Structures are given as structure tokens and as C-alpha cells.
Structure 1
Amino acid sequence: MTDPEDYPLLRSQSALLAQALRLVSRDGYTWWQVQTAPVEKVLAAVKKLDEKHAVLIAPKARAIRKEARLPVGHLLLAPVSVMPPQDPRPTWPMLLLATQELPGERMQRVEDRPLTWVAWRKEAWRATYVLKPDQRGRWTWFLTREFHRALLEEALAYAAEGDWRALVGHMKALGNLPMFSGVWSQVQEIRRRVQKLWGDRHLRDPSGQWKAPPWRKVVEEWPKAPLSPIGMRLYPEEPPRTLGEWWAMHRKGGGA
């Protein structure tokens, strides 16, 4: 593959995180850089990166380069599904991974600075996920410290105020996060803190009976175990499946 239009798009944020986790922990892509390109120039940006670092070469060619101890680059574009809804869209985030530091790029080693990925929050791309070893030394994704703290403080505020409607909505949103083991542990911590603070003091009904917390059903709908990248579907079955398909749909729809 040498044509940017043939670049396969990932199906979701979870798929991108899973692919990055595999590349770092299993395949030795320990250098990283996050950059953005204007949406209307993303094809040109991908082409330029390929010309500089051969990020679009076939798997067999990658293996040959790695065996020869040459730098190998790998490019991951943010999934279309996480792009902001407004039109025109602002920029398109890209994660550049490599087995060695690529010339002309401002890359970081994961051992020196944990890989950090973004999500669209508060009308901007913000650092949201961080890839680092857990307590057992296994690579996994966590929420950034700032984002985790913000989610925890919001949940505790709703619980302290007895605002169960807002708390239910908040806990439901937490269940939609990419539940890799690090994120899973952080979300479970929020649940425990909420449960401890809320207790059942807000829940006595007029008959005097204690009721279950209103957010319990939402928590029961959370994934029952942490997300594993093994066997995860990475690519969509329906268009847009490639950058070229997205571009054609984008132009036909007038930027939709």
C-alpha cells in the first residue's frame, strides 16, 4: 500500500487504543508522536509522512526493515467515529509510532514519557488516555490523571448533592469508556467512592423501605471484565473503510 486513499480506517477509539497497545507492547514501536492535520489536507499529510518515513508499506516490507534494524514507522489516524460533529471539522489527530526515533520528528520514548492519546472534549482535542505499565508491569491504557480526577469529582459532587438523575447519566457515560484494564480499575474506583459516599441515606421511600441506588442498574450494564485487545475487531465492515472512501463521502456530502 503506497496510496493514502488505501489507508484502512480504524472502527473506533477502542480499536485505535488496542492497535497502539499491540504495537508498543508486542512489536517494539516504542517511539511516539501525536500530531494533527487540517481535515481537508489529511490525504496530503499522510502522503508526506509516507514519503518521509514509509508509513504505508506492506507488513512484509515492515518485517524486512525491522530485521535489517532500520527505523520502521506506523501511522494511526483517529477513527472517524470520534471526530467532532460540527462542519467544518477542525483537525484530524494522528499517532505516529516507530521502532526508532524518526529523523525530523519530535518523538518521545514510551519509557521516558508515556504515550498519550486524545479525545474530543470541551470543544478541543485533549489528552485523555495514557499508555503505561500497570502494577504488574503489563502495558495498558489509563485515563490521564487530570481526566480521571475530573470524572471522580463530578461523580462525588452528584452523590453528595443527591442529584441521582445527573449521577445516573454520569455513571452511564463512564460505562462507555474504552475499558482496558487500567481504565477499568479507575472506573471501578469511582464506583466504589460513589457507593461509599452515597450509601443509602438518600434512598428511603415514603413507605420507609430502603431502595437500591438508582445508578445500580447502570453499573450492572457495564462490561463484566476489562477489555482485551486480543481478537478485537479493528476495522469497519461498512464504508468508510478507507481514507479514500471517507474522502469521497466527505466531498459528496459537502463536508458531512
Structure 2
Amino acid sequence: MGTADPATYPLLRSQTALLAQALRLVARDGYRFWAYQTTPTERILQAVRKLDERHAVLLDPQARAVRRRARLPVAHLLLAPLTAMPPDNPRSTWPMLLLADQPLEGENLHRVELSPDPKRPLYWVAWRDGEWGATYILRVDKRGRVTWFLEEAFYRELLEEALLYATRGDWPRLVTHLKAMGHLPMFSGVWSQLQEIRRRVHQVWGDRHLRDPEGRWKKPPWGAALEGWPRVPLSPVGMRLYPEEAPRTLGEWWEMHRKGGA
């Protein structure tokens, strides 16, 4: 079916770019079927080639438009960005997200559930505790907008760790924790969850430390950690998706990898 060279596959520049692309494809372009899978990193070219032969995942936008007008299935493949890959782990697996506008023959695709509480949400992963773990889920927020949220168990983990440090008055660790959270992809769902963590931390701190003995309001010792947090959520519209420096394609990465430069 597909005829493109997998080496031409354009790499995404970051986790944020991948999440933005997936959000656009689902919410704007109607790709409502999905599957998460991985392949050994050393076999990534073969895996992309096989998926292209079966589902034409490497078509250019014009060819995709022709297929859609002909009411044929159209598929997109999103590879985890290199910035998300575990360092110094050549035997790792490479996560992939397959999106389609119709069911694909031979693929066990799930239908995207666009609701506030999906039973089987579309998810994406991050490298956590030595493995790929579901970290971001796509669902509808209170205003009916489709956006990314942190997976509930991961969100609770971040919240409980922050509250532990706040309760103990362990400000150095709280600052480190809050700064790390500031690097998460701040789509509106994630942003709202982190604002709730901030509110809960401030509440715990305020219960114990809000006023000094002279009656003046005190500045939180961890407040500077929030300076890196965006004041408003990210928008996927107009976001730069692809890197400007090599490796920009799967082929460029493969050549650098073979030479020991990746």
C-alpha cells in the first residue's frame, strides 16, 4: 500500500509536540481510532516500513486528502520523540501511537472516548521507574474541551509528594519537586491539575506558616519554584512540532546512531 522510505519519517521535537499533534488529529481532524504499541529501538526502521506497507502511514498531506475523499482509511503514526527516550539504554523499546479515521484491518484499535471520565482513555507514556508508563490521558474537561490530563495515579503521586514536603516543612525538596513539575506539558488539563497541587500546598503551608509573630503575611519559601510555571495553559494551535537541528528524520537519527553519535 505505502511506498515511502521510513527514513523520511519526520521526528517530533518533544513530548509536548507529540501531545499537541495527537490532540489536533483527534479533536480537529477526526482521527477517532487509536492503538499504543512499542518496538525494539534497533528495529524501528523495519517497524515503520511494515506499518507503512499495511496502512500507508507515511503518505504526504495531499495523498492523505485523496484517500479521505475516496473514503479509504487514513492512518498517522506518531513516534516518541528522542527527548523522551531513556538515556544510555540502546536496548530500549520505542513507543508508537497509531491513529486512524476508520478501523484498520489487522489492528486492534480502540475508539477514542471523548468524555470527562472515559473507561478506556487514549493515553501516552513517559519513561518512569525504569519502564514506559501511562502518564497522559486525553479526555474532556469541565468546559467540554478535549485536552490532556495527567493519568490519575501519577497525579496523585505528584500531589502526595508535594503535600508530604509541605507538611514536613522540607522546603528544598518541595522546591525541587515543584520545579520538576513545571517542565510537564502544560495543556489545559495538566495545567489545571498542577494549579490544584499548588493550591493544596499553599493551604498546608498557610495553616502552619501564614503569619509571622509580628502579624505580617509571610512569603512562601517555595514561591520562586513557581516562576517557571506558565500563567496560562498551552495551546496546541501553531505550536512548532519538528526539530530544526539534526536529527530531523528517522533516517538522520539512524545514521547518527550507527556512528555512535546518538
- Which letter maps to 1:156? L
Match of 1:3 in 2: 5
Residue aligned with 1:236, SS:
coil
Matches of 2:41 and 2:22, distance apart in 1: 22
Matches of 2:218 and 2:142, distance apart in 1: 37
Match of 1:86 in 2: 88
Report how far residue 88 of structure 1 moved. Answer: 1.7
Pairing partner for 2:225 from 195, 218, 231: 218
Deviations 1:15-72 (A, max 9, x none): 0000000000011100000100100000000000000000001111111111111111
- TM (norm. structure 1) is 0.95
Match of 2:234 in 1: 227
Instruction: Decide which moves more: 208-217 or 149-158.
Output: 208-217
Match of 2:61 in 1: 59
Matches of 1:154 and 1:178, distance apart in 2: 19
Matches of 2:67 and 2:166, distance apart in 1: 55
Q: Is this contact kept in 2: 1:143–1:183, CA < 8 A?
A: yes
Q: Is this contact kept in 2: 1:83–1:89, CA < 8 A?
A: no
Pairing partner for 1:163 from 170, 178, 188: 170
Query: Pairwise CA RMSD of aligned residues?
Result: 1.8
Matches of 1:126 and 1:145, distance apart in 2: 12
Pairing partner for 1:45 from 44, 47, 65: 47
Residue 143 (str. 1) matches residue 150 (str. 2): yes
Report how far residue 87 of structure 1 moved. Answer: 2.7
Matches of 1:90 and 1:220, distance apart in 2: 35
Deviations 1:229-250 (A, max 9, x none): 1111000000010000000111
Residue aligned with 1:114, SS:
coil
Pairing partner for 1:253 from 245, 253, 260: 260
Residue aligned with 1:87, SS:
coil
Q: Is this contact kept in 2: 1:200–1:210, CA < 8 A?
A: no
- Which letter maps to 1:138? R
Match of 2:23 in 1: 21
- Which letter maps to 1:238? E
Equivalent pairs counted in the alignment come to 255
Identity %: 69
Residue aligned with 1:142, SS:
strand
Matches of 1:206 and 1:88, distance apart in 2: 57
Matches of 1:203 and 1:239, distance apart in 2: 50
Instruction: Decide which moves more: 103-112 or 190-199.
Output: 103-112
Residue aligned with 1:201, SS:
helix
Report how far residue 220 of structure 1 moved. Answer: 2.6
Report how far residue 90 of structure 1 moved. Answer: 0.8
Match of 2:247 in 1: 240
Q: Is this contact kept in 2: 1:53–1:102, CA < 8 A?
A: yes
Structure 2: tracts of 5 or more residues without a match: none
Matches of 1:239 and 1:175, distance apart in 2: 27
Pairing partner for 1:133 from 119, 128, 140: 140
Residue aligned with 2:248, SS:
coil
Residue aligned with 1:5, SS:
helix
Residue 181 (str. 1) matches residue 183 (str. 2): no
Match of 2:107 in 1: 105
Report how far residue 218 of structure 1 moved. Answer: 1.5
Report how far residue 251 of structure 1 moved. Answer: 0.8
- Which letter maps to 1:243? L
Matches of 1:207 and 1:85, distance apart in 2: 51
- Which letter maps to 1:139? V
- TM (norm. structure 2) is 0.93
Structure 1: tracts of 5 or more residues without a match: none
Q: Is this contact kept in 1: 2:40–2:94, CA < 8 A?
A: yes
Match of 1:36 in 2: 38
Report how far residue 203 of structure 1 moved. Answer: 7.5
